[in-house]
Amino acid sequence: MDSFIIDGGTRLRGTLRIAGSKNASLPVMAAALLAGGKSVIQDIPNLQDIRSQIELLKLLGCRVERLPDGKLEIEVIDQTNSHAPYDVVRKMRASICVLGPLLAKRGEGRVSMPGGCAIGDRPVDIHLRGLRALGANIELDGGDIIARATKLHGAEVFLGGNFGSTVLGTANVMSAATLAEGKTVIECAACEPEIVDLANYLNAMGAKITGQGTPRVMVEGVAELSGTTHRIIPDRIEAGTFMVAAAISNGELNLENVRIDHLMAAVDKLRSIGVIVEKVGTGVNVASARRLEAAIITTQPYPGFPTDLQAQFMALLAVANGNSIVSEKIFPDRFMHVAELTRLGARMHREGATVIIEGEQQLIGAPVMASDLRASAALVLAGLAARGTTTINRVYHIDRGYEKIEERLNSLGAKIKRVDQSEGE
Ligand code: EPU
């Protein structure tokens, strides 16, 4: 199992291109199951989660080929197997987003029920409620969700839950509704840019979706969809992570391929903390103003502050001046990084879904353990700011969502070594 050894304290400087969005790519790739003919999807990042999704699509009868320049060609050639087994789903929860497309196109989808993960319980009850409203019959067998329908029909579907809407649930229901008979109105739909990207891809395939990006999405069912070309949006979470890297290292980065309009809540917080963020062409320039101020952050559904940047901002606030408060309103247990950041000298006090951070700490390198994707990113960021050496174990988590992060940070001046520490694990 690989580890990172980080020598902290260097200032990051330079230019970096932000990759295509992982969380937009996964449902778009799943939606290719709905179409006849081939789709060519551009700017798919080269990540572990994407490789898992490719394996799953192959298992479900797709021909999938990587073309040069980050393009992926997907074509359904065999519709006999509609089962996403536990072995695949346990590696990546997002496999659940094949359920809607399989149901709508093949009349049946069988997907192993995803379990919880390091960021907490992750139920799929709202996905299933939505698919049932479209006429699916859903049962559980041997840990698998089996969804069946001879023909889906349009319906009014409400996707709200205790923590707001659901991103992949909206992807599932919206994808399924494209081939349903009649009109579907999704109320309390997720408004995330990844949902807009999926709707744009589906529309390019011949679907009739309007209202994407708002809480009311309307889908007029069509008889069939056909493959098309589509470019994935830039990864807003990767962009936000590198913005924090510039700030926490007292550096200055020019990030290319950034949709700043997808990141306004995070940019607003960075500016209030004292980080200079300027839009330059199709990217941003981010520079630390040296003195970083405390902040109060509450994660919320889009366009609010993203939960996927909570851990990274917590690392930043550990070195800012004054006391900060971070509340998690999407995944109330998503705080595995707190104990590890504390090992680096951060002062954090957790009360339920809120953490109080006493800032102004000089972080000091130590061995720490990565627990999930964004927590790992937070530890890398903290390691960049820490004095001395930080060793992060189990960095496979970070490879799920950031392509060669150590090489890219090193190209900006960081000192990170990847080592294989499998012995003794
Ligand atoms: N929820 C339910 N029932 C459901 C579905 C969700 O109660 O049927 C709850 C969840 O437990 C959570 C909230 O609703 O409290 C929101 O969960 P959501 O369904 O929106 O999460 P997701 O779609 O499974 C995606 C991203 C996550 C990101 C969340 C929230 C992908 C592949 N994953 O997950 O990304 O944190 O939306 O924005 O798109 C990551 O990239 O590190 C990551 C975890």
Query: Are 291 and 320 contacting, i.e. CB atoms less than 8 angstroms apart?
Result: no
- 290 pLDDT band, cuts 50/70/90, is confident
| φ and ψ at residue 306, rounded to 5 degrees | -75, 135
Please check the confidence at residue 425 and state whether its pLDDT lies above 60. no
| φ and ψ at residue 64, rounded to 5 degrees | -125, 125
pLDDT of residue 424: 38
pLDDT of residue 422: 65
Q: What is the distance between the alpha carbons of residues 424 and 419, in angstroms, rounded to a whole number?
A: 14
pLDDT of residue 423: 45
Measured in whole angstroms, how far is the alpha carbon of residue 385 from the centre of its chain? 25
State the closest ligand 1 atom to the C-alpha of 128, by its place in the atom list counted from 1. 8
* Alpha carbon of 378 to ligand 1 centroid (Å): 19
**Torsion sign across C-alpha atoms 274, 325, 379, 25:** negative
Contacts 24+ apart (CB under 8 A), 141-144: 143/86, 143/112, 143/113, 144/83, 144/86, 144/110, 144/111, 144/112, 144/113
* Alpha carbon of 83 to ligand 1 centroid (Å): 22
Q: What is the distance between the alpha carbons of residues 247 and 245, in angstroms, rounded to a whole number?
A: 5
For ligand 1, atom 4: residue with the closest CA: 124
- Provide residues with CB under 6 Å of ligand 1: 23, 26, 94, 121-127, 161, 163, 166-169, 307-308, 330-331, 373-374, 401
Query: Are 39 and 229 contacting, i.e. CB atoms less than 8 angstroms apart?
Result: yes
* Alpha carbon of 166 to ligand 1 centroid (Å): 6
Give the model confidence (pLDDT) of 5-33 as tens digits.
Answer: 999 999 999 999 999 999 999 999 999 99
Q: What is the distance between the alpha carbons of residues 398 and 22, in angstroms, rounded to a whole number?
A: 12
> For a substitution probing ligand 1, which of 127, 167, 174 has the most ligand atoms within 8 Å of its CB?
167
- 55 pLDDT band, cuts 50/70/90, is very high
> For a substitution probing ligand 1, which of 28, 122, 300, 327 has the most ligand atoms within 8 Å of its CB?
122
| φ and ψ at residue 60, rounded to 5 degrees | -90, 15
Structure token digits, residue 412: 């900006």
Query: Are 230 and 192 contacting, i.e. CB atoms less than 8 angstroms apart?
Result: no
For ligand 1, atom 9: residue with the closest CA: 163
State the closest ligand 1 atom to the C-alpha of 332, by its place in the atom list counted from 1. 15
Give mean pLDDT, residues 309-323.
97
Q: Which three-class secondary structure state does DSSP give residue 47?
A: coil
Q: Which residues are catalytic?
A: 117
Q: Which three-class secondary structure state does DSSP give residue 301?
A: coil
Query: Are 53 and 33 contacting, i.e. CB atoms less than 8 angstroms apart?
Result: no
pLDDT of residue 361: 76
Give mean pLDDT, residues 179-201.
98
* Alpha carbon of 113 to ligand 1 centroid (Å): 15
Averaged pLDDT score across all residues of the chain: 95
Structure token digits, residue 42: 């551009």
Q: What is the distance between the alpha carbons of residues 164 and 167, in angstroms, rounded to a whole number?
A: 10
Structure token digits, residue 370: 């990565």
State the closest ligand 1 atom to the C-alpha of 302, by its place in the atom list counted from 1. 38
SS3 breakdown of the chain: % helix, strand, coil, rounded to 5?
A: 35, 30, 35
pTM: 0.97
> For a substitution probing ligand 1, which of 21, 22, 23 has the most ligand atoms within 8 Å of its CB?
23
Give mean pLDDT, residues 304-332.
97
Give the model confidence (pLDDT) of 117-148 as tens digits.
Answer: 777 888 999 999 999 999 999 999 999 999 99
